[in-house]
Structure 1
Amino acid sequence: METTRRVGSGVEEVKISHMGPEGSGGFEPLVVLEFTASANQAAIEWLLAKLQAPKTEGGADLLVRTLFLQHNKETMLLIGASNERLLLAAELQEVKRRHRDGFFHEFTIQDIQEFVGSDDLESFFTQAEKQKLMMKEIENIRAAELDVHIPGYEDVRLYPGKSIIKKYLSREIVVQMFPLHDEEAIKRLGNEWYQPKNFFKLQPIHKIKQYFGEKIGLYFAFLGVYTVSLIPPALIGIIYFVTSWRSVYREALFAIFNLVWSTIFLEGWKRYCSELTYMWGTIDTATAKFEEPRANYHGHLGKNAVTGKPEPVYPKWKRSARFYCVTVPVISVCLWVAFIIMLFYFWMQHWADDVYAGNKGWINLMLVYVPTAIYAVLIGILNGIYRKVAKLLNDFENHRLDSSYENHLVMKLILFDFVNCFICLFYVAFYLQDRVMLNSFLSTMLVTQQVVGQIREAMVPFLFLRRRSKQLDDALERRKVVDQQTDSEDVDPAAKKQIVVESAMDVYDGTMDDYLELFLQFGYVYLFSSAFPLAALWAFLNNITEIRSDAFKMCRVFQRPFAESASSTGAWQVAFEIIGVISVITNCALIGMDPEVQKLLPSDVTAINVVLIFVAVEHCVLAIKAAVAYFIPDTPRWVQIEMARMEYESKQALQKEKMAAANRKKALLQKAFVKPASKSTML
Structure 2
Amino acid sequence: MSALTSMGQESEDGKIYFVKIHAPWEVLITYAEVLNIKVPIRENDIPSTVENPLDCMLTPFRLPEKVMHPEPDYFTAPFSKDKQELYLINDESTFFSPSMRNRIVNYILTRCPYGTEEGKKKFGIKRLLNNGTYSAAYPLHDCQYWKKASDPNCDNERYTLYMEWARFLRFYKEQPLDLIRKYYGEKIGIYFAWLGFYTEMLFLAAVVGVICFLYGLFTMDENMSSKEICDPAIGGEIIMCPLCDRDCEYWRLNTTCESSEYSHLFDNVATLFFAIFMGIWVTLFLEFWKRRQARLKYEWDLVDFEEEQQQLQLRPEYEAKCTQKKKNPVTQVTYRLGGHNCTFSCVSLIIASMIAVIVYRLAVYAAFASLMENTQTLQPISGLLTPQLATSVTASCLNFVIIMILNFIYEKIIPRTHMEYENRLTMKMFLFQFVNYYSSCFYVAFFKGKFVGYPGAYTYMFNRWRNEECDPAGCLIELTTQLTIVMAGKQIWGNIQEAIVPWICNWWGRRKARSNPENLYSRWEQDHDLQTFGALGLFYEYLEMVIQFGFITLFVASFPLAPLLALMNNILEIRVDSWKLTTQYRRPVAAKAHSIGVWQEILNGMAILSVVTNAFIVAFTSDMIPRLVYYYAYSESEDSPMSGYINNSLSVFEIADFPDRNKPKLNVTFHLHICLFNRYRDYRYPPDHERKYLHTMQFWHILAAKLAFIIIMEHVVFIVKFFVAWMIPDVPADVKAKIKREKYLTQKILHEYELEKLKERLCHGDKRATEKEFIATEGRMELSRAM
Shorter-chain TM-score: what band? 0.7 to 0.9
**2:585 aligned partner:** 558
For the residue of structure 1 that corresponds to 2:344, the secondary structure is: helix
Amino acid at match of 1:136: Y
Change (3 A) 1:606 1:445: closer
Distance in structure 2 (CA, Å) of the matches to 1:667 and 1:158: 49
Provide the alpha-carbon RMSD of the alignment: 3.3
Give the counterpart of 1:380 among 404, 411, 421: 404
Whether contact under 8 Å (1:226, 1:265) holds in the other structure is yes
Give, in angstroms, the shift of residue 72 of structure 1: 4.1
Q: Is the counterpart of residue 294 in structure 1 residue 311 in structure 2?
A: yes
Greater mean deviation of Cα atoms: 173-182 or 638-647: 638-647
**1:586 aligned partner:** 613
Q: Is the counterpart of residue 418 in structure 1 residue 431 in structure 2?
A: no
Paired residues for 1:598-637 under 5 Å: 598=626, 600=628, 611=707, 614-637=710-733
Whether contact under 8 Å (2:9, 2:17) holds in the other structure is yes
For the residue of structure 1 that corresponds to 2:556, the secondary structure is: coil
Distance in structure 2 (CA, Å) of the matches to 1:168 and 1:279: 37
Whether contact under 8 Å (1:530, 1:587) holds in the other structure is yes
Whether contact under 8 Å (2:12, 2:520) holds in the other structure is no
For the residue of structure 1 that corresponds to 2:411, the secondary structure is: helix
**1:348 aligned partner:** 360
Give, in angstroms, the shift of residue 232 of structure 1: 1.8
Whether contact under 8 Å (2:39, 2:79) holds in the other structure is yes
Amino acid at match of 1:104: T
Greater mean deviation of Cα atoms: 658-667 or 632-641: 658-667
**2:90 aligned partner:** 119
Q: Is the counterpart of residue 445 in structure 1 residue 486 in structure 2?
A: yes
Give, in angstroms, the shift of residue 506 of structure 1: 0.7
Distance in structure 2 (CA, Å) of the matches to 1:513 and 1:350: 34
Whether contact under 8 Å (1:425, 1:438) holds in the other structure is yes
Amino acid at match of 2:209: G
For the residue of structure 2 that corresponds to 1:65, the secondary structure is: strand
Structure whose residues are more often helix by fraction: 1
Whether contact under 8 Å (1:277, 1:283) holds in the other structure is yes
Give, in angstroms, the shift of residue 472 of structure 1: 2.5
Greater mean deviation of Cα atoms: 501-510 or 649-658: 649-658
Give, in angstroms, the shift of residue 284 of structure 1: 2.1
- CA distances 1:151-187 after superposition (whole Å, capped 9, x unpaired): xxxxxx6833x53322212223222111110113212
Paired residues for 1:352-367 under 5 Å: 352-360=364-372
**2:501 aligned partner:** 460
**1:409 aligned partner:** 425
Paired residues for 1:216-227 under 5 Å: 216-227=188-199
**2:101 aligned partner:** 130
**2:734 aligned partner:** 638
Amino acid at match of 1:473: R
Whether contact under 8 Å (1:166, 1:295) holds in the other structure is no
Give, in angstroms, the shift of residue 368 of structure 1: 6.3
- CA distances 1:578-606 after superposition (whole Å, capped 9, x unpaired): 11011011011112224431454575659
Give, in angstroms, the shift of residue 136 of structure 1: 0.5
Give, in angstroms, the shift of residue 69 of structure 1: 3.5
Residues paired across the two proteins, number? 558
Give the counterpart of 2:275 among 233, 255, 258: 255
**1:430 aligned partner:** 446
Give, in angstroms, the shift of residue 63 of structure 1: 0.3
Give the counterpart of 2:213 among 236, 241, 244: 241
Q: Is the counterpart of residue 334 in structure 1 residue 346 in structure 2?
A: yes
Distance in structure 2 (CA, Å) of the matches to 1:272 and 1:121: 33
Q: Is the counterpart of residue 596 in structure 1 residue 646 in structure 2?
A: no
Distance in structure 1 (CA, Å) of the matches to 2:538 and 2:733: 30
Give the counterpart of 2:40 among 86, 98, 109: 98
Give, in angstroms, the shift of residue 615 of structure 1: 3.1
Q: Scaled by the length of structure 2, what TM-score is found?
A: 0.65
Give, in angstroms, the shift of residue 565 of structure 1: 0.8
Change (3 A) 1:378 1:667: closer
Give, in angstroms, the shift of residue 537 of structure 1: 0.9
Amino acid at match of 1:615: I
Whether contact under 8 Å (2:625, 2:705) holds in the other structure is no
Q: Is the counterpart of residue 502 in structure 1 residue 527 in structure 2?
A: yes
Q: Identity of counterpart residues, as a percentage? A: 28
For the residue of structure 1 that corresponds to 2:9, the secondary structure is: strand
Give the counterpart of 1:524 among 512, 526, 551: 551
**1:177 aligned partner:** 137
Whether contact under 8 Å (2:168, 2:572) holds in the other structure is no
Amino acid at match of 1:134: V
For the residue of structure 1 that corresponds to 2:138, the secondary structure is: strand
For the residue of structure 2 that corresponds to 1:181, the secondary structure is: coil
**2:170 aligned partner:** 198
- CA distances 1:367-403 after superposition (whole Å, capped 9, x unpaired): 86344223213312322322332xx2x31xx46xx5x
Whether contact under 8 Å (1:97, 1:281) holds in the other structure is no
- CA distances 1:24-61 after superposition (whole Å, capped 9, x unpaired): xxxxxxxxxxxxxxxxxxxxxxxxxxx12xxxxxxxx1
If you compute each CA radius of gyration, which structure gives the higher value, 1 or 2? Answer: 2
Distance in structure 2 (CA, Å) of the matches to 1:464 and 1:322: 34
Give the counterpart of 1:159 among 102, 105, 120: 120
Whether contact under 8 Å (1:284, 1:567) holds in the other structure is no
For the residue of structure 1 that corresponds to 2:522, the secondary structure is: helix
Q: Scaled by the length of structure 1, what TM-score is found?
A: 0.75
Change (3 A) 1:255 1:322: farther
Amino acid at match of 2:85: Q
Whether contact under 8 Å (1:140, 1:295) holds in the other structure is no
Whether contact under 8 Å (1:439, 1:531) holds in the other structure is yes
Change (3 A) 1:520 1:644: same
- CA distances 1:623-673 after superposition (whole Å, capped 9, x unpaired): 221221121111111111111123334565687799898995437999xxx
Whether contact under 8 Å (1:377, 1:449) holds in the other structure is no
For the residue of structure 1 that corresponds to 2:42, the secondary structure is: coil
Greater mean deviation of Cα atoms: 341-350 or 521-530: 341-350
For the residue of structure 1 that corresponds to 2:725, the secondary structure is: helix
Q: Is the counterpart of residue 273 in structure 1 residue 293 in structure 2?
A: yes
Amino acid at match of 1:591: V
Distance in structure 1 (CA, Å) of the matches to 2:79 and 2:305: 14
Amino acid at match of 2:586: Q
Q: Is the counterpart of residue 536 in structure 1 residue 563 in structure 2?
A: yes
Whether contact under 8 Å (2:186, 2:592) holds in the other structure is yes
Distance in structure 1 (CA, Å) of the matches to 2:119 and 2:12: 31
For the residue of structure 2 that corresponds to 1:174, the secondary structure is: coil
Amino acid at match of 1:385: I
Give, in angstroms, the shift of residue 343 of structure 1: 1.4
Q: Is the counterpart of residue 666 in structure 1 residue 678 in structure 2?
A: no
Whether contact under 8 Å (1:438, 1:531) holds in the other structure is yes
Change (3 A) 1:275 1:419: same
Change (3 A) 1:158 1:456: farther
- CA distances 1:62-99 after superposition (whole Å, capped 9, x unpaired): 00122233734322221111112111111121111232
For the residue of structure 2 that corresponds to 1:567, the secondary structure is: coil
Amino acid at match of 1:505: L
Distance in structure 2 (CA, Å) of the matches to 1:669 and 1:127: 39
Give, in angstroms, the shift of residue 292 of structure 1: 4.6
Paired residues for 1:135-146 under 5 Å: 135-142=106-113
Whether contact under 8 Å (2:625, 2:702) holds in the other structure is no
Amino acid at match of 1:315: P
Greater mean deviation of Cα atoms: 207-216 or 616-625: 616-625
**2:604 aligned partner:** 577
- CA distances 1:87-114 after superposition (whole Å, capped 9, x unpaired): 1111121111232164321111222222
Distance in structure 1 (CA, Å) of the matches to 2:336 and 2:717: 40
Whether contact under 8 Å (2:203, 2:567) holds in the other structure is yes
Whether contact under 8 Å (2:162, 2:582) holds in the other structure is yes
Distance in structure 2 (CA, Å) of the matches to 1:293 and 1:141: 15
- CA distances 1:538-578 after superposition (whole Å, capped 9, x unpaired): 11111111111111101111111011111011111111111
